[in-house]
């Protein structure tokens, strides 16, 4: 088998594809061909490509956008662009956005071959720092494959195949805990495990889970008498997620193969840690996406009544909006405002007669609040109907739920929802329904519902920042400190209003990508190896990937991605320099570095404030923006860093009155 890398050629011109493919295959390269962005996505869902040759103009996208998507999936991919409409500006822009090379059509076979071979040589140098095949594959799984970009099933299958390949396993299985966390379920089954039956595999998975760590599994020595005579070798490790275990990975070799060794087991634990991180990232991303969609529903309904001062309009709109969350047949608001003014409203399925609805409401409400009060409320009620599905079962007894409205504002009363299709239609209800009711209560009381929106938003990003800090016991207040220093510098240079809000959020979430970095690396007491440093340096890009699906965080992404760039261009991940580095990122670099130098780390004590100020000054113009570094030094000399942390830190997390919103 050739050691030359597999190459993806992308062009909608079949002649170009044929010429390029023939040239590369004649030299020994394996080549796949795609004619559109859609076909590229299909290839990338199951393969990785060290080198991609791509035309600028494609039928459904352009080469620059496609290159960005490719490099987001695999930052190690070298993309070579070519076009028949070249210009100096286009070439510069392509290189600036990350293209490895830029070739003008028409080109010769030698030009294509020279560009590919040059890229291949540089990649070999890059990967030569990763010394073992197991670590190379782990690097690929860590950097190149993002589980959030593909389905969970496809990602787990890919992970299993690459892990089995790495350890030359005849069979590899991944067992994950079910939703109730009471049972292990087989999720991935790679290879041929016929040398052990299903009972044995499940026995080994349970034994590994009980161990709470990693173990070499010799079936004849762990109490399984059915396999006492086999020479098969197994190893297993839990899939960690903080202090929890998500499941186990098992690898097996038949009796014809060498047994697994302790070295294999330790490496498998690294793979499991990476899988645990990816599964956690996927869960966080999915939760964020679901929450975002639910919040969009809330915002859509809220936007229809938020500016209204008419209470009937507000309640009618809220009742109708609830139908996007719960498929009820009847919903009634029975409220008493703070001044005692009553308002009663019922929204019902037109397929049910008014008499049946009100008779059912009276019966259910009488049980809850008494017959006299129920009769009084239903005697003075405004009602509307909606066109609902006629389920032809309205002769059945309906199921009702009651929600106390006093929990959501300065109103008293109940929200009553009923369904003739059974209680299952009412549960589970969206966790965002209370938020919608809270907005409605605020609107009814003529107060700004945006304050509650802000509180929920603050809690979300604060929790995300604290989740990052919790992974590293030596930097538990890092996000808070960096945010305080950032706001102090923002005030110094005159950043206000919305820009200040975005900068506050970017500072709080600047290290969110470290959620995807194994804790064994974050908390390592000694110096990092080159391989570990490569993984650490992925956290800015990972942070962008985590936050990118959330529209509200769009303005934060450049600062988060670039907060480890250097003013002289020697930073990462994009080696930007000077004012090409976003202003917010340059501010974060100063604040982040100062906190790092004035805080204790697992591998060293803090060198102190004076040392930090000296470093800021000496490295201004190289690592730091000179003006920002000098401005920050002035701040620290005028006010102690502890005073800044006390002033801004306490305001950030304890006193909403002082938040930058």
The pLDDT assigned to 132 comes to: 58
| 534: pLDDT strictly greater than 50 | yes
CATH 1.10.3720.10 fits 6-128, yes or no: no
pLDDT bracket for residue 644 (50, 70, 90): confident
For residues 316 and 651, the model is more confident at: 316
pLDDT bracket for residue 466 (50, 70, 90): confident
Dist CA 374 CA 343 (whole Å)? 14
Overall average pLDDT of the 40-48 stretch: 83
Looking at 3.40.50, 3.30.450, 3.40.1010, 1.10.3470, the CATH number of the domain 307-446 comes to 3.30.450
DSSP codes joined into one string, 531-551: HHHHHHTTHHHHHHHHHTT-G
Overall average pLDDT of the 469-475 stretch: 64
Average pLDDT, the chain: 81
| 654: pLDDT strictly greater than 50 | no
The pLDDT assigned to 612 comes to: 94
| 426: pLDDT strictly greater than 90 | no
| 203: pLDDT strictly greater than 50 | yes
Overall average pLDDT of the 575-581 stretch: 96
Q: Contact at 8 Å (CB) between 34 and 61?
A: no
The pLDDT assigned to 256 comes to: 65
The pLDDT assigned to 223 comes to: 47
Spatial neighbors of 645 by CB under 8 A, at least 6 apart, are: 480, 481, 484
Surface-to-core class of residue 510, CB atoms within 10 Å of its CB (0-12 exposed, 13-18 middle, 19+ buried): buried
- The Cα-based distances of 210 to 204, 239, 344 in angstroms read 10, 12, 57
| 4: pLDDT strictly greater than 50 | yes
Q: What are the tokens at 588?
A: 């974060």
Q: Give CA 155 to chain center in angstroms.
A: 15
- Going by DSSP bridges, is the β-strand pair 51-55/78-83 parallel, antiparallel, or unpaired? parallel
The CATH class of the 134-285 domain is: alpha beta
| 450: pLDDT strictly greater than 50 | no
| 20: pLDDT strictly greater than 60 | yes
| 452-658: CATH topology | Hypothetical protein af1432 (1.10.3210)
CA nearest to 237, candidates 254, 223, 251: 251
Q: DSSP secondary-structure letter at 527?
A: P
For residues 379 and 426, the model is more confident at: 379
Dist CA 365 CA 400 (whole Å)? 9
Q: Contact at 8 Å (CB) between 444 and 409?
A: yes
* Residues 480, 486, 487: CA angle, nearest 5 degrees: 95
Dist CA 546 CA 462 (whole Å)? 15
Overall average pLDDT of the 506-531 stretch: 87
CA nearest to 65, candidates 88, 37, 103, 104: 37
DSSP codes joined into one string, 9-74: EE-S-HHHHHHHHHHHHHHT-EEEEESSHHHHHHHHTT---SEEEEESB-SSSBHHHHHHHHHHH-
Where along the chain do its domains lie?
6-128, 134-285, 307-446, 452-658
pLDDT bracket for residue 391 (50, 70, 90): low
In what order do the strands lie in the sheet containing 399-404? 382-386, 342-349, 330-337, 411-419, 399-404
Q: What is the pLDDT of residues 547-572, one digit of tens each?
A: 888 887 899 999 999 999 999 999 99
Q: What is the pLDDT of residues 587-600, one digit of tens each?
A: 999 999 999 999 88
Q: Do domains 134-285 and 307-446 have the same CATH topology?
A: yes
């Amino acid at each position: 088998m050739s050691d030359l890398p597999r190459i993806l050629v992308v062009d909608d011109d079949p002649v170009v594809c044929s010429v390029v493919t023939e040239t590369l295959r004649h030299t020994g390269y394996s080549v796949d061909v795609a004619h559109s962005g859609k076909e590229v996505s299909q290839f990338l869902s199951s393969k990785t490509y060290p080198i991609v040759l791509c035309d600028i103009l494609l039928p459904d996208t352009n080469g620059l956008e496609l290159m960005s998507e490719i490099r987001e999936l695999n930052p190690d991919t070298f993309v070579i662009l070519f076009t028949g409409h070249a210009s100096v500006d286009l070439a510069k822009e392509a290189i600036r956005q990350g293209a490895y090379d830029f070739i003008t059509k028409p080109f010769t076979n030698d030009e294509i071959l020279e560009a590919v071979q040059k890229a291949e040589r540089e990649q070999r140098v890059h990967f030569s720092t990763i010394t073992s095949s197991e670590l190379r594959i782990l690097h690929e799984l860590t950097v190149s494959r993002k589980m959030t970009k593909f389905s969970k099933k496809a990602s787990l299958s890919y992970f299993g195949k690459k892990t089995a390949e790495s350890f030359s396993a005849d069979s590899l299985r991944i067992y994950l805990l079910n939703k109730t966390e009471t049972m292990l379920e087989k999720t991935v089954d790679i290879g041929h495990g016929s040398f052990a039956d299903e009972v044995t595999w499940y026995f080994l998975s349970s034994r590994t889970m009980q161990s709470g760590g990693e173990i070499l599994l010799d079936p004849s020595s762990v109490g399984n008498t059915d396999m006492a005579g086999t020479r098969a070798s197994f190893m297993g490790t839990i899939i960690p997620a903080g202090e929890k275990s998500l499941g186990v990975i098992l690898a097996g070799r038949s009796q014809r193969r060498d047994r697994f060794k302790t070295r294999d087991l330790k490496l498998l634990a690294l793979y499991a840690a990476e899988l645990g991180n990816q599964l956690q990232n996927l869960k966080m991303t999915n939760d964020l996406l679901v929450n975002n969609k639910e919040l969009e529903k809330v915002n859509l309904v809220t936007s229809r009544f938020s500016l209204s001062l008419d209470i009937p309009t507000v309640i009618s709109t809220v009742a109708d909006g609830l139908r996007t969350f719960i498929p009820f047949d009847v919903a009634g608001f029975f409220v008493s405002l703070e001044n005692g003014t009553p308002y009663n409203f019922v929204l019902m399925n037109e397929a049910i007669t008014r008499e049946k609805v009100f008779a059912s409401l009276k019966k259910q409400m009488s049980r809850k609040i008494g017959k006299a009060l129920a009769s009084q409320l239903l005697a003075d009620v405004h009602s509307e109907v909606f066109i609902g599905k006629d389920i032809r079962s309205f002769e059945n007894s309906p199921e009702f739920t009651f929600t106390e409205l006093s929990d959501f504002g300065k109103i008293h009363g109940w929200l009553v929802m009923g369904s003739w299709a059974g209680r299952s239609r009412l549960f589970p209800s969206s966790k965002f329904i209370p938020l919608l009711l809270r907005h409605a209560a605020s609107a009814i009381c003529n107060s700004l519902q945006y304050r509650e929106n802000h509180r929920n938003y603050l809690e979300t990003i604060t929790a995300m920042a604290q989740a990052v800090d919790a992974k590293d016991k030596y930097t538990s207040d890092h996000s808070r400190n960096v945010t305080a220093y950032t706001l102090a510098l923002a005030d110094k240079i005159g950043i206000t209003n919305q820009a200040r809000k975005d900068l506050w959020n970017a500072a709080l979430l600047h290290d969110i990508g470290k959620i995807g970095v194994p804790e064994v690396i974050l908390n390592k007491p000694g110096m990092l190896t080159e391989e570990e440093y490569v993984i650490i340096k992925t956290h800015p890009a990972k942070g962008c990937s985590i936050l990118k699906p959330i529209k509200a965080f769009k303005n934060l992404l450049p600062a988060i991605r670039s907060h480890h760039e250097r003013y002289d261009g020697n930073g990462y991940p994009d080696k930007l320099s000077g004012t090409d580095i976003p202003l917010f990122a340059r501010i974060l670099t100063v604040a982040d570095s100062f906190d790092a130098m004035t805080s204790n780390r697992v591998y060293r004590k803090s060198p102190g404030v004076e040392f930090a100020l000296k470093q800021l000054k000496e490295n201004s113009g190289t690592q730091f923006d000179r003006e920002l570094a000098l401005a920050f030094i002035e701040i620290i000399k005028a006010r102690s860093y502890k005073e800044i942390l006390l002033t801004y830190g306490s305001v950030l997390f304890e006193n909403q009155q002082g938040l930058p919103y």
